[in-house]
Structure 1
């Protein structure tokens, strides 16, 4: 997952880095009120599942995986001969992606990136639509990264939720990072934000309890 460099430390230090290196949780996003969102580290460190593959089938042209995490999607696309780059602010995540044979850089989506305006598809899976706590700002940035008519495939919350919160990474055993902004949006909430920014839905689907939407700029 990825945030701006100013907010990068929660994803660059323990407990997230330890979870990625060990390929297992438990790991959570914890709100100030104590609410916990489980992070599926084991799934992220496994091979792509049916839901992942359904999203990858929508990819067009060169693919930018924003918040690539441990790299399963980048590796799968690379193995299929696709041009793909993962970006993540976590050194541990980037290192694992590279070890799987994928290309990855330790960068935030808000940093200057290679081939801006030339990517055929941008991916925001595994909750990464929440990066920065402002889906509108994130969609505006992605519009700068994809080519004219480019595609964004985002994974949305399976519930009709629209919230902007501050959270910290927490291992459930006493180790936690600093607070940073995050967002959770369902498909309807995402479309409400996306349409005024020039994004139009081209597909919506669910697989294995996970929900996705593809948007074209």
Structure 2
């Protein structure tokens, strides 16, 4: 059974809705970590996620084409920055707190897993896997295959990778804070650029760019010229935060 399937059966929203992560997004501060089963800690840059888009982020956004789907949008800085530029963008995230914060910033967001049915499948110009989100589900190959079906033929995927390492790590982790509060364990992955490019080539992607800004590393991939999206665009999707609160000032999903 794949790690993606395991994650979905366990309820993919649960790990990133745990109190340590929710609390960090509400305050905009860490410390926050991913902890492996062997005790190793990966610091999560909550303060940067909750700040405005920085120079490295803006370089990513400059390269985006068409309507942009931010997979694992977190607190929404990239979606908000794209909206401020007058560009069409949608964030998806399994965390209610992340989606709510994105909406408060004026962005458009849905509480969804990337493996759930999504609006405009097969018609997005660009997809983003930033801040380590290539690790979603613990199976980067399955994630790349899913994103290919979300993009239009020849669409662009921009991935942030682990800088300076040829790393391909598949692990079980949980979110924790400095006080020892912990969320539900879930599968995760970390990839350096060489490992990503090898995996992408096998999956039919074409590498079209690599760059580093501010100590962060990125790669751009072009999808195959045709895709196999089977589902029609979901024109009836609603803001995920409506499920709980129906906040005022709601914004529609961008039309493609």
Please classify the TM superposition score into its range, dividing by the shorter chain length.
over 0.9
Q: What is the CA distance between 1:10 and its match in structure 2?
A: 1.0
C-alpha distance in 2 between matches for 1:174 and 1:212: 32
> Does 190-199 or 118-127 show the bigger shift?
190-199
C-alpha distance in 1 between matches for 2:11 and 2:155: 28
C-alpha distance in 1 between matches for 2:162 and 2:50: 20
RMSD: 0.9
Q: Does 1:90 align with 2:95?
A: yes
C-alpha distance in 2 between matches for 1:24 and 1:161: 28
The one-character-per-residue Cα deviations of 1:51-107 (angstroms, maximum 9, x if unpaired) are: 111111110000000000000000000010100000000000000000000000000
C-alpha distance in 1 between matches for 2:129 and 2:17: 19
C-alpha distance in 1 between matches for 2:218 and 2:18: 29
C-alpha distance in 2 between matches for 1:143 and 1:45: 28
Q: Does 1:182 align with 2:177?
A: no
- Aligned mate of 1:35, from 36, 40, 52: 40
Q: Does 1:18 align with 2:28?
A: no
- Which residue matches 1:7? 12
- Which residue matches 2:201? 195
Q: Does 1:120 align with 2:158?
A: no
- Which residue matches 1:47? 52
TM-score (norm. length: structure 2)? 0.83
C-alpha distance in 2 between matches for 1:11 and 1:145: 23
- Aligned mate of 1:148, from 153, 161, 164: 153
Max radius of gyration: which structure? 2
| Residue correspondences, number | 215
Q: What is the CA distance between 1:8 and its match in structure 2?
A: 1.8
- Aligned mate of 1:59, from 56, 64, 68: 64
- Which residue matches 1:137? 142
- Which residue matches 1:172? 178
Following superposition, which runs of at least 4 residues in structure 1 exceed 4 angstroms of deviation?
A: none
SS at structure 2 position matched to 1:189: helix
Q: What is the CA distance between 1:13 and its match in structure 2?
A: 2.2
The one-character-per-residue Cα deviations of 1:8-65 (angstroms, maximum 9, x if unpaired) are: 2110121100000010000000001100000000000000111111111110000000
TM-score (norm. length: structure 1)? 0.97
